[in-house]
Structure 1
Amino acid sequence: MAIDVAHALEYLHHHSEEPIIHCDLKTSNILLDQEMVGHISDFGLSKMISTDRLNYSANKLSSLGLRGTIGYAAPEKVEVVVEGATSIAQTDEDFICVTLDWWPTNKCDYDQCPWGQVGLFNLDLKNKILEKAVKAFHPLRIRVGGSLQDQVVYNVRNNIENCKPFQKQDKGFLFGFSIGCLDMKRWDELNEAKVTFGLNAFIGRKESETEKTLWVGNELCGVGVSARIEAKQYAKDMATLKNLVKEMYPNPKTQPKVLGPGGHDIIDGVTHHIYNLGPGNNPDVVRRVQDPFFLTQIAQTFKDVSNAIDKFAPWSGAWVSESGGAYNSGGQLVSYLDQLGMTSVYNHKVYCRQALTGGNYALLNTTTFVPNPDYYGALLWHIVMGSKVISVTHKGSPYLHPGVSFVFINLSKNTSFEIDIFHDLNLNGGSPNFEFKGHKEREEYHLTPKDGNILSSVVLLNETPLELSDSLEIPELKPELVDGLIPINIVAHSIAFITIRDFNAPACS
């Protein structure tokens, strides 16, 4: 056995494509095959070095950066406890929401212009892929808005003679663009879906008309983004807006909801925006999106918003009305789906992803409209996950993120996890009642990046690439049927949606 190990180490040091030094060699990492030949396993603590460093001293070598390498690593055991007796929160049925933004083609950040022809003035609403991507959700909630909504005017009854979209300006306008005019034909086209529409803020407002015009708009509260108003004035105008909505839509069943910062019995939803990864050109964006400790920090914001609503506006619900990860059009090739579980746990009703099209964070490719990986993650959530939220905890690595009923996100680069499910029916605490073993086949959807590259625009479902058909149809998302007695295995760098049909949680009945 010692000779087998020596041969393996000699190969790793001198004959592999990149020299590898195993940093955790011990008896538990030596595996025997059927012929009793020894093999080295568990490469999670190995180091890859270039050939010109092979002559370095041991001290110098020990300072090299830690790297993960290809090799066998036994999965970590993880216990997941489901408290199925009661629910802890509830989302809207249409929890998944996407935004359509106003940005024109010449919206640029960091020497790149990622919006193309997909802003609200230019978007080809008859594109077949776009149409089928939206219809796959049946329905998909769409939020129309963004930074430039504060400079939009609406050509009602054709009372604006020169109705033009946004024009680039050097100075004197918010965000460097002029006022944009939307005609009613385009309005009708946009409103064929379930739409959450953002109103403008300052257009037409004059000091002499303070009782006639409303100050509502995008990111105007607190410190604001390029513009702000005082809370007292905002509250008055939201109350006026609510009265206008009631007057124009007297039937409560068809009456639009009013969303915005709080107010007693005025708003139906309290909205906030999340861009917790920092600016799109931040070199740490890729690292941050894989760091569970960093990603979890934003949970405090969701909790604070939920607690504030419970205390001051219990008649309404929390919405994330815009979230793109990194601001200023997002980070190139960076995709994420870590916040859906967190927001649902903290009783948020809707989560609007920035954006359906446009920017680096789009669910659909800006040029071709071919779905990006996060589109399929959002679609699977819409298909698989229900609206009732039950508590799920786990004992194991923080790189494994439990969702609800169930979605698991494995952020680890090298480690897979073997999941055992426990059912906790105790209403007053205590140990879980029993380990759950399913007797029916469970449905598993495992999303992994192509070739293990987390920046790939191609995602695999159960090892099969998700690609449009020849007729441009969205691929059917078929689960893998797995024996319910086998532990759940979550591979490295993956998102898994697991449906267990014979798990009876009273809270979900």
Structure 2
Amino acid sequence: MGGGVLKSEDLLHETGPVFDVFSYHLYAATSQRCASIGASSQTNAAAALSQDWLARPEKIGTFYADLRDRFEPGKSLWITETADAACGGNPWAPTFLDTFRYLVQHASLAQRGVKVIMHNTLASSDYGLLDENTFAPRPNYWAALLWRRLMGATVLDPHPSPIPNVYVYAHCLQNHPGGVTLLVINADRQRVHEITLPSDAERYTLTAKQLQETSVQLNGKTLQLNRDGDMPQFLGQSTRAGHISFAPTSITFLEIANADNSNCH
């Protein structure tokens, strides 16, 4: 065989529609460990909340969804390996700064029909969900736990946010017929933003004192395992319907149990 790169399109063309699932790996950049690959594959912490960076996973997903539609129509989309950057992740991968990408990626790709996301790794290198030496949960682990507890499999249309750097997503509430969860991500480093909440809700807001910290607060209280290594209680903050605000660089899940959404019954 000759040299060169084997393109996904060529591989799919030769194999034909024989697969049960269409899967791909997703890394929007390479880490500093692989700087020798070239500057075009790199990113930096200053860009971690930029619209361009947060949009990259969805753009990559669109490319692969098009290949799926052409060569494996109707098959489910799975991401079988992903993290912030290939080659072990960047130094800010274990910090709250990467949690914005982590959740925007989950939510935007769920909107596009991705059914499964497998994170790389559980406890190894910078992008591990747990510290590889202490096994202490990192911010993305806590975000994944809240996602699992609150965001059901049915994806709803919340209508795109008209505000730059604010991302709004909606799913049926996990294990609660009729309920809805809103995910509001304020990636703006300076500005407070508001939305109108139609019903009372339980609020779960993630913040950090410094973006590049490996600890994270839930409604102002640091999340950590107890002395026995057990999970803390995840207590929401009761929030009345009406105008509610979202601090700069904050991530909020709103659990609306009494939404009575017809798509969630």
What amino acid maps onto 2:135 in structure 1? F
Shift of the 419–348 alpha-carbon distance from structure 1 to 2, 3 Å rule, reads same
| SS of corresponding position for 1:298 | helix
Give the match for residue 11 of structure 2: 231
Shift of 1:412: 1.1
Give the match for residue 170 of structure 2: 404
Shift of 1:367: 0.3
Count residues with an aligned counterpart. Answer: 237
| SS of corresponding position for 1:392 | coil
CA contact (8 A) 1:459 1:466 kept: yes
| SS of corresponding position for 2:62 | helix
1:482 to 2:239 alignment: yes
Shift of 1:504: 2.8
| SS of corresponding position for 1:277 | coil
Correspondence for 1:492 among 248, 251, 255: 248
Give the match for residue 268 of structure 1: 20
Question: How many angstroms apart in 2 are the aligned matches of 1:275 and 1:330?
Answer: 9
1:373 to 2:149 alignment: no
Q: TM-score, normalised by structure 2?
A: 0.81
**Deviations along 1:458-507, whole A, 9 cap, x unmatched?**
10000000011011112222211111x23232211111111112223322
CA contact (8 A) 2:123 2:132 kept: yes
Give the match for residue 55 of structure 1: none
CA contact (8 A) 1:280 1:331 kept: yes
Give the match for residue 216 of structure 1: none
Give the match for residue 38 of structure 2: none
1:277 to 2:29 alignment: yes
| SS of corresponding position for 1:326 | coil
Correspondence for 1:359 among 104, 108, 125: 125
Give the match for residue 115 of structure 2: 349
CA contact (8 A) 1:443 1:482 kept: yes
Give the match for residue 318 of structure 1: 77
What amino acid maps onto 2:72 in structure 1? A
1:328 to 2:82 alignment: no
Shift of 1:395: 4.4
Shift of the 306–325 alpha-carbon distance from structure 1 to 2, 3 Å rule, reads same
Shift of 1:315: 4.0
Correspondence for 2:52 among 287, 293, 299: 293
Question: How many angstroms apart in 1 are the aligned matches of 2:12 and 2:158?
Answer: 41
Question: How many angstroms apart in 2 are the aligned matches of 1:323 and 1:488?
Answer: 33
What amino acid maps onto 2:121 in structure 1? A
Shift of 1:398: 1.8
Question: How many angstroms apart in 1 are the aligned matches of 2:246 and 2:261?
Answer: 23
Shift of the 318–471 alpha-carbon distance from structure 1 to 2, 3 Å rule, reads same
| SS of corresponding position for 1:403 | strand
CA contact (8 A) 2:92 2:212 kept: yes
Matches within 5 A, 1:119-198: none
Which of the pair has more CA radius of gyration? 1
CA contact (8 A) 2:196 2:242 kept: no
Shift of the 232–339 alpha-carbon distance from structure 1 to 2, 3 Å rule, reads closer
Question: How many angstroms apart in 2 are the aligned matches of 1:277 and 1:285?
Answer: 10
Moved over 3 A (4+): 280-284
CA contact (8 A) 2:13 2:71 kept: no
Between 470-479 and 455-464, the greater mean CA deviation after superposition: 470-479
Give the match for residue 137 of structure 1: none
Question: How many angstroms apart in 2 are the aligned matches of 1:506 and 1:349?
Answer: 22
Percentage of pairs with the same residue: 22
1:467 to 2:219 alignment: no
Question: How many angstroms apart in 1 are the aligned matches of 2:216 and 2:161?
Answer: 29
CA contact (8 A) 1:278 1:285 kept: no
